[in-house]
Structure 1
Amino acid sequence: MDHSNHTRLAGSELTPDILEGATIYGPADEKIGSVDHVHGTQIVIDVGGFLGIGAKPVAVASNELDFMRDEDGDVHAVTSWTKDQLKAMPEHRD
């Protein structure tokens, strides 16, 4: 997916209603997870699993993710983290 034509979200758009469920793409443009929820200044990402079953929630700082909208208006994010790096992080617990 070419993200160069996608519109970056403004800070005011970084709300749980907009971000929850957004797909996260890694450095090789592969899907590596999805936003489970926002926890303060952290974004909790579900990594691994299948259809949400067996996924591991991990928390990353919101500035580690570049949120944007594609041509269809769908919100997603790009990060330099790989799926393996996220899986190696400690599990997030609320």
Structure 2
Amino acid sequence: MDHSHHIRLQEQELTPDTLTGATIYGPGDEKIGHVAHVHGNGREAQVIIDVGGFLGIGAKPVGILARELDFMRDTDGAVHAVTRWTKDELKALPEHRH
């Protein structure tokens, strides 16, 4: 996916309502997970990503800060993010527990 024409989200848009459900793409532009939920707002918010699994089964929830992700809207308005983290690197993080 060519992200060059996508619009970066502003700090005030980094909210649970906006980010929950967003697809996360890795450095090779592969889908590596989705945002399960968010704690807080802005670049310091903790974003919980379900990594791996199939149709939500077997996915591992991990938490990283919003600033580690480049959130944007595509031409259809759908929110997604790109990260430098690979799927394996995210899966190696400690599991997020509610």
Q: TM-score, structure 2 length as denominator?
A: 0.93
Corresponding residue for residue 54 of structure 2: 50
Percent identity of paired positions between Structure 1 and Structure 2: 74
Structure 1 residue aligned with 2:68: 64
The answer as to 2:87 corresponding to 1:89 is: no
Q: What is the DSSP-based 3-state SS (H/G/I as helix, E as strand, rest coil) of the residue aligned with 1:78?
A: strand
- Kindly state the Cα deviation for residue 13 of structure 1 after the two structures are TM-superposed: 0.7
Question: Take 2:17 and 2:66, find their aligned partners in 1: how far apart are those partners?
Answer: 15
Number of equivalences: 94
**Which consecutive residues of structure 1, in runs of 5 or more, have no partner in the other structure?**
none
Q: What code does the residue aligned with 2:34 have?
A: S
Equivalent-residue separation in structure 2 for 1:43 and 1:66 (angstroms): 12
Structure 2 spans left out of the alignment, 5+ residues:
none
C-alpha RMSD over aligned residues: 0.6
